[in-house]
Amino acid sequence: MAKNFSTTVPAKISIIVKLVEARKIKKLKRKLHSLKNTFGNIGSNKAIFCQHLEDESAEKISYVHSNLPILNKYYSETKLALDSYLEHRLLQARTLSK
């Protein structure tokens, strides 16, 4: 199953970003459940989840982070996993840009 992560996760994150932008809540809810199914328990797979988010651009990461209340409305575990990781990435980006 680990082999499956590298192909599915970046694509799913990109789809979630597009759905957040379009405010397509029903589709977003389905994609988040699909993401949950991909990872099983997000908490136990958080390191793998974060590792595959590394491929996402800072702009997308920032956009998702600013729209986490929408994500949280449907899937709080995803929000928690994203939130801590994105805070770390945003701090890294700020540090590198100084």
The mean per-residue pLDDT over the stretch 47-63 comes to 56
Q: Which two tokens stand for residue 73?
A: 């409305």
How crowded is residue 36: how many other Cβ atoms within 10 Å of its Cβ? 14
Instruction: Answer whether residue 1 shows pLDDT above 60.
Output: no
Domain assignments of the chain as residue spans, ordered by start = 2-97
pLDDT tens, position by position, 2-54: 434 344 455 666 666 666 666 666 666 666 666 655 555 545 555 555 555 55
Q: What's this model's pTM, rounded to 2 decimal places? A: 0.27
User: Within 13 Å and on the Cβ side, how many CA atoms surround 26?
Assistant: 0
Reduce the DSSP state of residue 70 to 3 states and report it.
Answer: helix
